[in-house]
Structure 1
Amino acid sequence: MKLNHRLNLTLLPVIVLVFSVAATLTIGETQRRSSDFLKHRLVVELENIEAQLVNQGTLMVSGLKLMLSNDAFHSLRRSDHSHSASLSLQHLILEHHANLRQILPNLEMLQIYDTHGEVLLSTTVDNNPFSPPATPPIPSELQWWTPGLPALSGQNFYLYLNNSGAARLVLIEAFVPEMFGVKHSNASNAANNLYALISITLGGGDEVRPNTLSPTQKGLSLQLSPQTEGLPMSQAQRSRLSPAQQLSGYITTDAAIATLTTPLYLATLSPQPGLAWREIAPLVKTELLLALLLIILTYLVLKKLIHNYIIRPVTMLVTQVKHISADSASTLKPQPGSNEITQLNNAYVKLVDDIQHLAAYDPLTGLANRRKFQFVLDKEIANTLKYEQSLALLYIDLDNFKRVNDSFGHETGDRLLCEYTHRLNKAILNCRNASPRLTRPLLARLAGDEFALLLNDVSSANTAISVAKRVLAITENGLTVDGFTHNIGTSIGIALAPRDALDTSALFRCADTAMYQAKLKGKGRYQLFSDDIARLLAEQDAIEQALHTALGREEFELNFQPIFDANNLRVTAIEALLRCNHPQLKQAGPDKFIPVAESTGLIRQIDRWVIEHALSSLAQLQQRGFGGVLNINISANELHNEQFPSHISTELGKHNISPAAVELEITETTLIDADRQSVSVLRRLQDIGVNIALDDFGTGYIGFNQLNHYPVNTLKIDRSFVHAIGNESGQKRPMVDVVLELASIFDLDTVAEGVETEQQLLRLRKLGCNFLQGYYLARPMPLTELLKFLEQHGECPPAQAQSLPD
């Protein structure tokens, strides 16, 4: 995923999350403050309502006193007032009602009662003077004439709810007409009292009137109810309180409700449903819109900044990196500055330089490696063809170098390579000084102890030969490292372009083949690629093609050669030998086509075919009663195949064969080149239970002390030592004798190969060789002939031989 996409997937969610959290917190804080403000409003509204009630109560007291102070009410009696006087007082109370309504718009009525609760005067009568007064709206708890209730005295405020739920505030005052203004609180004088009543409408319920008591703020609901709890007082106690004391109290808030508690009433003020949200909704919408705008603006600004200061420099760096080639100059250059992108650029420049150096040069010797050498050689061959010049490739290999590693260790071997490189560079410098045409010689370490030298624009093969002689002279007397002179030689193969080849791969092959021929001729020499070597290459190519065909057609077969116990000459083992029926390979033999198969990678397919068919044959032999061991030759390539032990184990299980019945043979030269991986594979094979035999022992010059470290069970003495039996001088100890003694020291079994005479057989038995193999005893034969041979020697019962298919 590109950085721009990652930026979008990372930056936008983070910004949205941050602003969402901020918006949520802001809205939460807005709601909290709105709730606090609403509570404050409720308290203020209740305080205002309380002040209104106190003011209206004071006006009620003043209005009632003003009415009773009229002289017309001083002589009012139930027993002696005339109808005309009643009409006059009725007109007077209506007039006072009209006047008082100017300051108390919600005034409902004025009435005067006698002691028994009968209405003497009332503002609620209709226009008919003869109709009785309306029934006073006095609830039962205020009806002082009811038996059981004490008579009222003084001033008393009351609040009650009518049937529709509307609240009324009532003031009742007892007075004596003759002594107006003198209140009687004792019951003895109560019989002389008259009662004046004034009531106002406070609103509520289904009743809606103008100028009734209500909050000034919309969306608030006021509920009034008489005081029944909290501050219970008797009428006498309440009558001693002033209007302000009776109508005032303390305010409490609970959640979104405010309550005014007074001696007379309870006033509850609460917001209507959804009021709080309706009030903050516009602000919340504004905050959300602002958050959205900030998200977009912040995203655009940050994306622009990140793109300019991070993504674009990184993209430019990536673009430059894509155009870097390990074999060309880097397009990246160190940049000044200390920011992270500059540091990344400079670190990458250094890394690329280091990688290019590691990719092109050998870390031990500092020489060009195979990859660098091939790259330069490609260009030089192109120039050679273009300008009709010649160049020479010298393939250099150190002789006996592995002995140094085995005997003195790899550190000594590394120091020897460095010393050889130093001398080689010096020799090449001398060659340049002697031949001015050698302007661009290139020396490379290909692998291990293999080197290559490119000589450009050579006039003839003699120039390359002259350089090769100087190179050979370096190791003429060996190489001295750490005060010890090692017997190291040099073999060189020389190939010319375009004479021998026109491309890098073919030229390498020509030089390598020439070097191999130099080794075969005794080492310590050079060899020019020639027509004879070309024919050898052609033969190898033909063998390779024939191997491909033979594998496709399965033109291979196995022959079997018995191995005998030296003591009783009984067959104890059988070696499986590969043969090929392809016309071109039938006469070549394994000695020729196996090396080609190893060099081309075909050997693994051949090994698998051999193992499969050899174990299948062993299974048939065991069915016939054969109880000996089957020897199978394997290639050195299998020692670098980590899966090979598992493959052997699988095949053994497939054919139901015990591992102890199989012995795998490897050549001594193979073990000379063995590394840790090879030894590990051999040990894993031994862990399975398979035996390991060292074939052609004595030809590879393996160190005797190395035998103790290699997982080997059997030594097979090379046939050349067996052939020498009877021909050695009396002063020279036979090599077979030395090998047998060595095997005895390391507790190894021995097999003598190539036994062809009775003299050899008798001598080997006398020397204590364990097993014998050769034409004198039995030649290699197909499986059917082997069965007959075993039957004749009593190794297989004849009755079972008839059931075995040909």
Structure 2
Amino acid sequence: MRLERRVHYILLPFIVVIFLAGGLTSYGVLKERRYVQYEQLLRRDINSMHNEIGLELRSMKSYLSEILNSNEFVRFSIERDSQYQAFTLGAAAYGMIDRTVKGTNVVSIYLTDQQGRILLSRDDSGPFDEPALPEQLSGFTESALKFFNDSTKFDDLGLFFKPNPETFHYVLARSFSPRRLQHDVFGQAKSDYMVAMIIVNIESFNHYKYELIGDLGTDLQFSFDPVISNKPYAPQEVTMQVNDDSAIVATINTDYYTASVKVPESSIVKSLQDSKAHIIFFVVVASLISYVLLWLAIRQVIVKPINELASRVKQTDELDGSELKMMDGDDEVSELNNAYFQLLGSIQQIASFDSLTGLANRRSFEIWLERHLARQAQQQNKVALLFIDLDKFKWVNDHYGHAVGDRLLREFGARLREITRTSDMTAFVSHESIARLAGDEFAVVLSDVQGPEAACAVATRVIKLFESGFWVDGITHDVQASIGIAMMPEDGHDASTLLKHADVAMYQAKANGRNRYEFFTKEIAESIRQRDMIEVLLKDALSDKTFELAYMPIVDLDNGDIVGCEALLRCPSLQQQGIGPDVFIPIAESTGLIKKIDLRVIEQAFVDYLQLKSRGFEGYVAVNISAVELRNEKFVGQLCELLAHYRVPAHKIHLELTETRLISPDQDAVAVLEDLQQLGFQLVLDDFGTGYTAFNQLMHYPVSGLKIDRSFIGYCDNPQKVKMVEIILALANVYELNVVAEGVETQEQAAYLAEQGCQYGQGYLFSKPIPFDDFCQKLEPGKLAAG
């Protein structure tokens, strides 16, 4: 991930987290302050309400005292004549009461005897209604009468109550003696007392309730529990508590009532909605502004210098460092630039030059050659490329060790530089134009040459280095050089083409006897073109599945029965151009296509065998495989998968390895062959007798049969050839191997081979390679035999 993207991914969340944490903290502080504000507001208003209620109660007691001490009420109270009391003094008493309570909060006034009988009633009932105390006060009246009766003194008793949900009343009951009121003396008989009751509307409750609702919201919850009390009304403290549900509960406990107000958390949160919106807005805006400002600062101070450094590094042309310069700054980017510049110089040396010889390596040489050819083409100069390969160098490594081989290569590189620096050179040679391409392969570029003569001169000097062997560390090694030469513009204009053509010319020099040089020619070009064409057609045949198999019968020489057949590969697209397996198989091996072709042939042979078996055929099918498969680690596993898929008995498949193409016996090759033998395949040496290591292979490879090459069968009248056949048959008898003679074309050859003990044969005497359907027709009843 690029630095800019990482900065985006880190910076924005980081800033958002910081401001979000700040916003949450601010919101928490505001919420705590709001709790404090609400607590202060509740304490203030509840205390004010309590004080206002006290004032209302004192006023009520004042009203009652004024009434009880008036002449009208005293005369009414002490009068014993009820008729006179009711009709004469009652009117005066009612008038006095009305004058006293007019404009006040007094709701009603009652005068009762000790049993609670109403003697005087001033309330809002109708004139014809029977005087009665409010139903809500029945319990209070009973308690008050009992309290006064049990008391040893005159006293007051009060209670708050609610006549309806929206109204608060307070009732005050006072015991008194009319005589005491009149004469202000003590010691009168207790039986003389009366009870006066006054009911007042207490407006402070609702006033402060609505005031709190207006201040704190409609979600407030109020509770009020009245208490009957005769104690003086005194100030009380308001207690505050925050419940588990984060609600504020303010409570005041008095001798007259217990009241509480609960402010739920939702009310507090609702009151902070505007503040919350402001905080969110601030967090978003501050985050964006801070992000933009910080990003611009980081981009200018950090990202931009790093991007400029990265751009210079990218624009650096390969390893020359042309876009990089040393910087004088003491910041990290300058240090990184300078460190990279120094590192690039070291890497350039390592990456551009061969560590053993000090010459340019293949990678740097190809880069330089591509540019060099372009410059020379613009100047219309000729260029010669010499591709040099040391012959028999592997022999030096195998016999003297790699250390000696390395010293030989180092010495040859030094001498190659010397012979290309001589004053009589007719071409320009720079230090970059000599390279070690790989192993024992070297290249020399001659610039601005007049013709092939300059290339011939250099090539001759190289070959002369090996005239008497190559002397290293007191030992003369029998090493030679094969050189291929390609010219620009005649043989190509780009590096890859010129190298390829010089390489091909070098192989032509090897084929023509080694220790010589060859120029790339039209004939060689045609060979390359044909090779490329064959490779393309082989790939197409693999992709389109157009390969075909022809089958050549293998017969018992004693009775002529068909005991098996050999599957022979055919490529119709190449066959139309007269190109057979002898040409395209080596190309397939060199390009690596042979591995896919072998699998395709074996799989088709399995399919055809199953069809032959369904027709009653009990023989075997022989399939040729490339010696390349002995180096293919996947080959055995792939054959296992094919056997499991097609359920073909492995012993009915003979795998033939061409003896002339086999590699020298080694542990890996033998292990592969032994694995194939363990699977049940029969291993056969093909074209036996034509290779240099035939008998060596016979001893080391776990084979079960061999095929005598056709070159021996065709000359049975030649004593030397005949003796070779007899020797091969004798060896096969010693090793208990089955023998098939190839190329049997006459009855005389078949008879001779049968007489010498050769079991089987194949050739044009019996049949040419034929399509699968034609081979099936040859399997006539009575001619089938097991192989």
Aligned twin of 1:376: 368
Does the 8 Å contact 1:559/1:780 carry over to 2?
Answer: no
Partner in structure 2 of residue 230 of structure 1: none
2:623 to 632, 636, 645: 632
The reply on whether 1:419 has 2:408 as its aligned counterpart is yes
Q: 1:781 to 1:106 in 2, by over 3 A?
A: same
Q: C-alpha distance in 2, partners of 1:181/1:704?
A: 160
For the 8 Å contact 1:326–1:359, the answer to whether it is kept is no
Task: Give the letter for the 1:141 counterpart.
Answer: G
1:781 aligns with 2:773: no
Task: Give CA-to-partner distance per residue, 1:146-195, whole Å, 9 cap, x none.
Answer: 99776375222312425324322233332334434999999x93321133
Higher alpha-carbon deviation: 376-385 or 548-557: 548-557
Relative to structure 1, is the Cα distance of residues 257 and 430 closer, same or farther in structure 2, using a 3 angstrom cutoff? same
For 2:434, the equivalent position in structure 1 comes to: 443
DSSP 3-state at the match of 1:326: coil
Stretch moving more, 3-12 or 280-289: 3-12
Distance 1:490-1:38 versus aligned 2 partners, 3 A rule: same
CA distance, structure 1, for counterparts of residue 372 and residue 537 of structure 2: 37
Find out whether 1:155 has 2:155 as its counterpart: yes
User: Hey, what does 1:258 align to over in structure 2?
Assistant: 250
Tell me what 1:140 maps to: 138
1:308 corresponds, among 296, 300, 314, to 300
Matched letter for residue 289 of structure 1: F
Partner in structure 1 of residue 195 of structure 2: 195
Letter in 2 for 1:535: E
> Given the alignment, which residue of 282, 287, 296 partners 1:295?
287
Q: Return the letter of the residue paired with 1:175.
A: F
Counterpart residue type for residue 51 of structure 1: N
Hey, what does 2:42 align to over in structure 1? 42
- Distance in 2, matches of 1:109 and 1:87, equals 16
Is the 2:551–2:771 contact (alpha carbons within 8 Å) kept by the matching residues of 1? no
User: Quick check: 1:633–1:664 contact (8 Å CA) kept in 2?
Assistant: yes
Does 259-268 or 366-375 show the bigger shift? 366-375
Residue by residue over 1:714-756, the C-alpha shift from the partner in whole angstroms, topping out at 9 and shown as x without a partner, is 677878899999669xxxx9999899989989x9988888899
- Separation (CA, whole Å) in 1 of partners of 2:369 and 2:268: 88
User: Are residues 1:280 and 2:275 paired?
Assistant: no
**Is residue 518 from structure 1 mapped to residue 509 from structure 2 by the alignment?**
yes
**Range 693-702 or range 376-385, more displaced:** 693-702
- Is the CA contact (8 Å cut-off) linking 2:383 and 2:447 kept in structure 1? yes
**What SS does the corresponding residue of 2:289 show, helix, strand or coil?**
helix
Contact 2:429 2:445 in 1 (8 A): no
- Taking structure 1 as reference, are residues 612 and 281 closer, same or farther at Cα in structure 2, changes over 3 Å only? closer
Deviation at 1:77, TM superposition (A): 0.6
Displacement of 1:517 in angstroms is: 3.2
Question: In structure 2, what is the equivalent of residue 658 of structure 1?
Answer: 649
1:431 alignment counterpart: 420
Aligned to 1:172: 173
Report the CA distance shift for 1:438/1:284 in structure 2 as closer, same or farther (over 3 A): closer
Residues 36/364 of structure 1: CA separation in 2 closer, same or farther (3 Å cut)? farther
CA–CA separation in structure 1 for the residues paired with 2:68 and 2:536: 140
Q: Aligned to 2:485, what secondary structure does the other structure show? A: strand
CA distance in 2, matches of 1:61, 1:354: 110
- Evaluate the alpha carbon distance shift between residue 486 and residue 610 of structure 1 in structure 2; reply closer, same or farther with a 3 A threshold: farther
Partners in 1 of 2:741 and 2:733 — Cα distance?
12
Q: Specify which of 526, 529, 539 is matched with residue 538 of structure 1.
A: 526
Which residues in structure 2 correspond to 1:176-255 (within 5 Å)?
176-180=177-181, 189-203=189-203, 218-219=215-216, 224-227=224-227, 239=230, 241-244=231-234, 251=239, 253=241, 255=247
1:238-278 Cα offsets, whole Å, 9 max, x none, are 54x4343xx85875756444333334323233459964345
Q: Distance in 2 between matches of 1:46 and 1:191?
A: 42
Q: Secondary structure at the match of 1:45?
A: helix
Q: What is the TM-score when the length of structure 1 is the normalising length?
A: 0.71
AA aligned opposite 2:190: A
Q: Call closer, same or farther: CA 1:413–1:321 in 2, change over 3 Å.
A: same
Alignment map for 1:94-105 (pairs within 5 Å): 97=101
State which drifts further: 466-475 or 544-553: 544-553
Partner residue, 2:447: 456
What pairs up with 1:683-698 in 2 under 5 angstroms?
688-693=679-684
Report the more deviating stretch, 548-557 or 252-261: 548-557
Structure 1 residue 432: deviation in Å?
A: 1.0
Provide the C-alpha distance between the structure 2 equivalents of 1:457 and 1:216, rounded to a whole number of angstroms.
105
Residue aligned with 2:483, SS: strand
What do the CA deviations read for 1:357-406 (whole angstroms, capped 9, x no partner)? 77755566554444443443344444555545443322222334445666
Q: CA deviation at 1:486?
A: 6.2
The separation in 1 between residues aligned to 2:605 and 2:666, in whole angstroms, is 28
| 1:406-432 residue CA offsets vs partner (Å, 9 max, x unmatched) | 678xxx447624631442233322331
Cα separation, 1, equivalents of 2:525 and 2:451: 23
d(CA) in 2 for partners of 1:118 and 1:785? 137
Summarize the Cα distance change of 1:289–1:355 in structure 2 as closer, same or farther, 3 Å threshold.
same
Going from structure 1 to structure 2, the CA distance change for 1:90 and 1:538 (only over 3 Å counts) comes to: closer
Tell me, yes or no, if structure 1 residue 399 matches structure 2 residue 391: yes
What is the one-letter code of the residue matched to 2:169? R
| Aligned-partner SS, 1:168 | strand
CA distance in 1, matches of 2:277, 2:572: 94
Name the aligned partner's letter for residue 79 of structure 1: R
The alpha carbon displacement at 1:535 in A equals 2.9
Kept in 2: contact 1:114–1:193 (CA 8 A): yes
Q: Mind listing any 5+ residue stretches in structure 1 that lack a counterpart?
A: 228-232, 802-806
The offset of 1:440, in angstroms, is 2.0
- Would the alpha carbon gap of residues 57 and 707 (structure 1) be closer, same or farther in structure 2, given more than 3 Å must change? farther
Q: 1:95 to 1:656 in 2, by over 3 A?
A: closer
Distance 1:580 1:58, change over 3 A: closer
1:49 maps to amino acid: M
Change in CA separation of 1:600 and 1:260 when aligned onto 2, cut-off 3 Å: closer
CA deviations on 1:545-598 (whole Å, 9 max, x unpaired) are 588789879798747485989x99998775555678999988876544544555
Give me the whole-angstrom Cα distance separating, in 2, the residues matched to 1:758 and 1:68: 166
* Distance change >3 Å, CA 752–CA 491, structure 1 → 2: farther
Shift of 1:464: 3.2
Aligned 8 A contact 1:171 1:198 in 2:
yes
Q: Which amino acid aligns with 1:281?
A: Q
The alignment yields a C-alpha RMSD, in angstroms, of: 6.1
User: Residues 215 and 222 of structure 1 are in contact (CA less than 8 Å); yes or no, is this contact kept in structure 2?
Assistant: no
Q: Cα distance, 1:622 vs. partner?
A: 5.8
Question: CA distance change for structure 1 residues 19 and 184 in 2, over 3 Å: closer, same or farther?
Answer: farther
What is the identity, as a one-letter code, of the residue corresponding to 2:253? T
Instruction: Please report how far the alpha carbon of residue 693 of structure 1 lies from its aligned counterpart in structure 2 after TM superposition.
Output: 4.8
Written as runs of structure 1 = structure 2, the 5 A alignment for 1:751-762 is none
Task: Name the amino acid aligned to 1:456.
Answer: S
CA distance in 2, matches of 1:400, 1:428: 22
- Specify the alignment match of 1:804 in structure 2: none
User: Tell me, what secondary structure is at the counterpart of 1:433?
Assistant: coil
Quote how far apart the aligned CAs of 1:144 are: 5.8
User: How many Å apart are 1:455 and its aligned residue?
Assistant: 2.6
The alpha-carbon deviation at position 201 of structure 1 amounts to: 1.7
CA 1:670–1:180: 2 relative to 1, 3 Å: farther
Cα distance change of structure 1 residues 629 and 182 upon mapping to structure 2, 3 Å threshold: farther
Partners of 1:606 and 1:53 lie apart in 2 by: 112
- SS of equivalent to 1:285: helix
Q: Which amino acid aligns with 2:139?
A: E
Partners in 1 of 2:376 and 2:446 — Cα distance? 11
Q: Aligned pairs, how many?
A: 761
Contact conserved, 2:550 with 2:771, CA < 8 A, in 1?
A: no
Asked if 2 retains the 8 angstrom alpha-carbon contact of 1:672 and 1:702, the reply is no
1:708-787 matched pairs, under 5 angstroms: 781-783=768-770
1:269 correspondence with 2:261: yes
What secondary structure is seen at the aligned counterpart in 1 of 2:78?
Answer: coil
Kindly provide the CA deviation profile for residues 330-353 of structure 1, in whole angstroms up to 9, marking residues without a partner as x: 534565778776677677767877
